[in-house]
Amino acid sequence: MSEHSQKLLLIDGHSLAYRAFFALPVENFSTTTGQSTNAVFGFVSMLLNVCRDEAPTHIAVAFDLGRETFRLAEYSEYKAGRAKTPEEFHGQVEIIKDVLAAMNIAVVTKENYEADDVLATLAQQGEQKGIDTYVITGDKDSFQLARDGVTILYPKRGVSDLSRMTPAAIEEKYGVSPANYRGLAALVGEKADNLPGVPGVGEKTAAKWLVKYGDLPGVIDSAEDIGGKVGGNLREHLDDVERNYRLNKLIDDLELPVGVEDVTWTGVDRPAVSELFDQLEFRQLGARLDALVGPEETPAEASASSLPEVTVSDSAALVTWLEGTDAEALVAVATNGTYELGSGSVDVIGLATEDSAISVDLTTLDPAAVEALAGFLTSHLRLAFHGAKTQLKALADAGYRDVRLAIDTEIAGYLLEPGARSYDLAELAGTHCGISLTEPADDGQLALDLDDGNERLTAFGQAAAAIARLAPVLTGEVDAAGMAAVLREIEVPLVQVLADMEHTGIAIDRSELSALIDEFTRQAETCAQQAYEAIGHEVNLNSPKQLQVVLFEELDLPKTRKTRTGYTTNAEALADLYIKSEHPFLEHLLAHRDVIKLKQTVAGLERMVADDGRIHTVYQQTIAATGRLSSTDPNLQNIPVRTGAGRRIRHVFVSEADAGYTDLISADYSQIEMRIMAHLSGDESLIAAFNAGEDLHSYVGSKVFGVGVDEVSAQMRAKVKAMSYGLVYGLSAFGLSRQLRISVEEARALMEGYFERFGAVKDYLDEIVAEARGRGYTETMYGRRRYLPELGSSNRQIREMAERAALNAPIQGSAADIMKIAMLNLRDAFAASDLKSRMLLQVHDEIIVELADGEREAVSEVLRTTMGQAAELSVPLDVNLGVGRSWQDAAH
DNA sequence: GCTAAAGCAA
DNA sequence: ACGTTGCTTTAGCA
């Protein structure tokens, strides 16, 4: 290529990124992970346009480097008074640099110099080599660089519309040559750089003087000759003008690590750019890049088509495959099985490495093959599953015990995006590996043709093959996000602990349960009859719609708070209505509500009692966005406890005396979230409160109300307690006032008093939200993330919800992490001491253990110390214990 | 089969 | 508008 056809493109990276940031609405540009991308998008879009229009052969992007520029050293007020850069801009410059790296575009910086100096130096070099040069920058000082062969592309509005500032264009616009532009800028001043000019002198006057006296030194020499008010101003501000003139000169002879010849543009690393654009969720830019450099061959198809062919294997082939598999290799497993009400079975297993996959019908295996498979599953060190827990339970029931889990791709997917709805294997394989997969029908959806048995079989081999490909990709992403320990040391080991707890289940006193059902059913009927009598007819008390007719039309009671579909009939509103009207219908309706809820709860429990007389709840490990577990089938984490009638339900959860388990023991963390808040905020007063050994809320109350601990009244304690707990949820003064039934003013005063005493808590909560807004996610003590893209929403309600979620997530999530660590350590501690007692339930901050005969003292000690030592905080982790035959009796 | 409303837990 | 994280039940609609 001959020299004169070369074209050099020089870009001021920071200046263009910053302009792009303000040109594009930030709320329209953010990834699902919460990273703002508007500046990146605008910058890259501009870059692609210019590359298309100018077809440069050389490109360099300069960034400012170092805070102590020589200009600042000379003038300490340089660029002072600039608005702080918005949170959402942070990080975007680094991403732009990543994109540039992927596009093989040189990034040039020079310590203590600004980007424009770098550009001036490169432009100077370009000119000497006779290369056509284009400088893109939002800084007008660069106009001094314009000459034949050096054009400034100056963004008019936003970044997409660039003015071509040739020497002629500058002359026309400002009335001075590019060489004189510096003088003009010095006279006029530059507000953005905090460089004041001569008052009353604008571009027109400055240009007139420069033309008349030749250049700025000429103007200064002739300052005495200039009359009028502006002449006087000039003479008064000569120092400023000379300073401006010195500072706005761009340095064009820097020693740079690279020269013009080093910034040849050789084309883009298309796969790297694609991956970045995927991460940034840029769709249209990929197509525009294709138009520029030609489309990429699709590696997605390549990897999908290279998924290994699935071989349907018999006993002999299975044994051969197992023997031929490297002991170090990652082996993925996908099974077809069921597990319900405490027992399960498996009939198909798919096994795969990265390049080999088999499917096996387990019902056809001979004993030797079964033994070989069982041995493999318990000994192989790198087994990967997708949703292992159910499969481990089913495998155990089928005789394949102690399967050693190394990685679960569903959990890895959850950690990467804990707010997602599901972690479907086919979806993850598609988005992370470009594999398209038709999912095997799992959970008993076996309505397939028997003729199609082969297809059903191979589906599991194929799933295993996808897992084998997916696992290293996902673990790499988890590691990169700093969650390696959360995955490998908490979540994956926990799978077996939960599987064991679910498999064990908790014993139910069935006769007592059915007696409760009868009792609640009778009471519900009585309440219903009384309610009907009060209004003279029957109505479906479970139907809010029908109730609204009765309450607001028939009885003409005052309207309650509006819901989307009408007026609320919730308990709070009904209680208010009862105070106002004293209508007996309301009384009976509320009583019915209470008792029907209890009836539903106990009836639901009875349906879930398995043949072994126990309830086997299922813990969901990939649902709660904060890292908590949840419980289903049935939910044992919301069994009533606040009312006497509710607590009677806990009386049916018992230890199984006949099997040698005398009691249940319940261990719960005392105020764990408040303790975490004390630890994370480092608030000395709150830490002191926990170390004081007094009742926490009374102690805090004594500080807030300025009285002695003994003088804290029950009301004061209740207020402080509500306040303390509300903090963790982002409670407002309004919410506090409503909960405590006090005025908003009083609630606000209470909050102010609280924050006065516990200021570091407030600072910490504010900081969590600010930090989350900046980087797009929150983090627990152990690095578990929660992404909150809604923090950038322009919808206030959505944004504020995200803010409350942000301040809650690290606290609730750290508590969840600590409890999970405690559970792992408890499992080990029980095993180490050869204790027969076993963990049954987890209710967020509580563990229920079934206590084997004679182990009360030992287990109590293990629970207290293991839970207490699960984390090292700056406050003690207190554990409360209670023992009794039933869950209720074990309450403390 | 879906959503809304209700209410239970930490 | 106003307090986080969940699950289950029922009614009522499609």
- Beta-bridged to residue A343, according to DSSP, are A340
Residue nearest to nucleotide C6 (CA to C1'): A630
User: How far does the CA of A810 sit from the C1' of B3, in Å?
Assistant: 31
Tokens of A362: 């387990």
Is the peptide bond between A634 and the residue preceding it cis, with omega within 30 degrees of 0? yes
Count CB atoms within 10 A of the CB of residue A3. Answer: 9
Nucleotide with the nearest C1' to A562 CA: B5
Tokens of A874: 């700056």
Per-residue CA distances from A603 to A514, A598, A610 (Å): 8, 8, 14
User: How far does the CA of A428 sit from the C1' of C11, in Å?
Assistant: 36
A571 touches strand B (CB under 7 A): yes
Count CB atoms within 10 A of the CB of residue A149. Answer: 16
Nucleotide with the nearest C1' to A744 CA: C2
A577 touches strand B (CB under 7 A): no
A568 touches strand B (CB under 7 A): yes
Rounded Cα–Cα distance for residues A386 and A405 (Å): 10
CB A676 within 8 A of CB A873: yes
User: How far does the CA of A204 sit from the C1' of C8, in Å?
Assistant: 76
Residue nearest to nucleotide C7 (CA to C1'): A635
Nucleotide with the nearest C1' to A567 CA: B5
Rounded Cα–Cα distance for residues A16 and A207 (Å): 28
Residue nearest to nucleotide C9 (CA to C1'): A600
Nucleotide with the nearest C1' to A641 CA: B9
Which amino acid type is present at position A880?
N
Rounded Cα–Cα distance for residues A822 and A818 (Å): 6
User: Can you spell out the DSSP letters for A699-724?
Assistant: HHHHHHHTS-GGG--HHHHHHHHHHH
Residue nearest to nucleotide C1 (CA to C1'): A797
For residue A576, report the phi and psi dihedrals to the nearest 5 degrees. -60, -45
Rounded Cα–Cα distance for residues A655 and A399 (Å): 27
What is the model's pLDDT at position A444?
36
Is the peptide bond between A178 and the residue preceding it cis, with omega within 30 degrees of 0? no
For residue A201, report the phi and psi dihedrals to the nearest 5 degrees. -105, 120
- 3-class SS of residue A829: helix
User: How far does the CA of A835 sit from the C1' of B7, in Å?
Assistant: 39
User: How far does the CA of A751 sit from the C1' of C1, in Å?
Assistant: 19
User: How far does the CA of A577 sit from the C1' of B6, in Å?
Assistant: 17
CB A773 within 8 A of CB A88: yes
The distance from CA A546 to its chain's CA centroid, rounded to whole angstroms, is 41
User: How far does the CA of A639 sit from the C1' of C7, in Å?
Assistant: 11
Nucleotide with the nearest C1' to A626 CA: C5
CB A398 within 8 A of CB A392: no
Exposed/middle/buried for residue A503 (C-beta within 10 Å: 0-12, 13-18, 19+): middle
Rounded Cα–Cα distance for residues A520 and A389 (Å): 36
Dihedral of alpha carbons A488, A492, A493, A494, sign:
positive
Strand B bases within 7 angstroms of protein beta carbons: 4-10
- Beta-bridged to residue A340, according to DSSP, are A343
For residue A161, report the phi and psi dihedrals to the nearest 5 degrees. -110, 105
Rounded Cα–Cα distance for residues A298 and A287 (Å): 13
Rounded Cα–Cα distance for residues A717 and A189 (Å): 62
User: How far does the CA of A570 sit from the C1' of B5, in Å?
Assistant: 8
User: How far does the CA of A641 sit from the C1' of B9, in Å?
Assistant: 8
Q: Looking at chain A, how many residues does it have?
A: 892
* Buried b / exposed e along A451-477 (16+ C-beta atoms within 10 A): eeeeebbbbbbbbbbbbbbbbebbbeb
User: How far does the CA of A320 sit from the C1' of C6, in Å?
Assistant: 47
Nucleotide with the nearest C1' to A598 CA: B8
CB A314 within 8 A of CB A452: no
Q: How far apart are the first and last CA of chain A?
A: 85
User: How far does the CA of A563 sit from the C1' of C14, in Å?
Assistant: 22
A673 touches strand B (CB under 7 A): no
A562 touches strand B (CB under 7 A): no
Per-residue CA distances from A553 to A532, A549, A572, A576, A589 (Å): 16, 5, 20, 18, 17
User: How far does the CA of A639 sit from the C1' of B9, in Å?
Assistant: 6
User: How far does the CA of A147 sit from the C1' of C11, in Å?
Assistant: 78
User: Can you spell out the DSSP letters for A443-462?
Assistant: TT---S-GGGHHHHHHHHHH
Q: Are strands A132-136 and A7-12 parallel, antiparallel or unpaired?
A: parallel
Residue nearest to nucleotide C5 (CA to C1'): A624
A472 touches strand B (CB under 7 A): no
User: How far does the CA of A311 sit from the C1' of B5, in Å?
Assistant: 51
Dihedral of alpha carbons A531, A533, A534, A537, sign:
positive
What is the model's pLDDT at position A302?
41
Nucleotide with the nearest C1' to A732 CA: C2
User: How far does the CA of A635 sit from the C1' of C9, in Å?
Assistant: 12
- 3-class SS of residue A660: coil
Smallest CA-to-CA distance from A418 within A622, A618, A630, A629 is with: A622
Per-residue CA distances from A567 to A544, A732, A739 (Å): 9, 24, 21
Residue position matching structure tokens 């407002």 = A732
Residue position matching structure tokens 């960034």 = A63
Per-residue DSSP letter, A557: P
Tokens of A748: 């606000």
CB A487 within 8 A of CB A583: no
Q: Are strands A405-408 and A566-567 parallel, antiparallel or unpaired?
A: unpaired
User: How far does the CA of A680 sit from the C1' of C9, in Å?
Assistant: 39
CA Rg, chain A, in Å? 36
Nucleotide with the nearest C1' to A570 CA: B6
Tokens of A697: 């809320």
Strand C bases within 7 angstroms of protein beta carbons: 1-13
User: How far does the CA of A443 sit from the C1' of C9, in Å?
Assistant: 24
Nucleotide with the nearest C1' to A735 CA: C2
CA atoms within 13 A on the CB side of A488: 13
User: How far does the CA of A426 sit from the C1' of B8, in Å?
Assistant: 35
A464 touches strand B (CB under 7 A): no
What is the model's pLDDT at position A64?
86
C-alpha dihedral, A545 to A551 to A553 to A557, nearest 10°: -140
Which residues in window 796-855 of A are less than 7 A from strand B by Cβ? 843-846
- Beta-bridged to residue A777, according to DSSP, are A787
The distance from CA A142 to its chain's CA centroid, rounded to whole angstroms, is 42
Rounded Cα–Cα distance for residues A416 and A596 (Å): 41
Dihedral of alpha carbons A315, A317, A323, A328, sign:
negative
User: How far does the CA of A607 sit from the C1' of B8, in Å?
Assistant: 18
Count CB atoms within 10 A of the CB of residue A642. Answer: 7
Residues 6 or more apart whose CB falls under 8 angstroms from that of A404 comprise A377, A378, A379, A380, A381, A383
Nucleotide with the nearest C1' to A548 CA: B5
Tokens of A394: 């089913």
What percent of the residues of chain A are helix, what percent strand, and what percent coil, each to the nearest 5? Answer: 55, 15, 30
List residue ranges whose Cβ is under 7 angstroms from nucleic strand C: A 540, 542-543, 545-546, 600, 604, 607, 620, 623-626, 628, 630-635, 637-638, 722, 725-726, 729-732, 734-735, 738-739, 797, 800-801, 804-805, 808-809, 812
Nucleotide with the nearest C1' to A635 CA: C7
- Beta-bridged to residue A152, according to DSSP, are A135, A165
Which amino acid type is present at position A331?
V
What is the model's pLDDT at position A98?
86
For residue A349, report the phi and psi dihedrals to the nearest 5 degrees. -130, 135
List average pLDDT for each run of 10 residues in chain A, which is 892 residues long.
74 91 79 80 89 90 82 78 75 88 90 91 92 92 91 84 87 86 87 78 85 86 81 84 88 90 87 80 78 64 67 97 96 94 92 96 96 98 97 96 97 95 92 76 40 78 96 95 96 98 97 96 95 94 93 93 90 93 94 95 96 96 96 96 95 97 97 96 95 92 94 94 92 92 93 94 94 94 95 89 95 97 98 98 97 98 98 96 97 90
Residue nearest to nucleotide C11 (CA to C1'): A543
Residue position matching structure tokens 């807030």 = A704
CB A546 within 8 A of CB A540: yes
Residue position matching structure tokens 């030749």 = A214
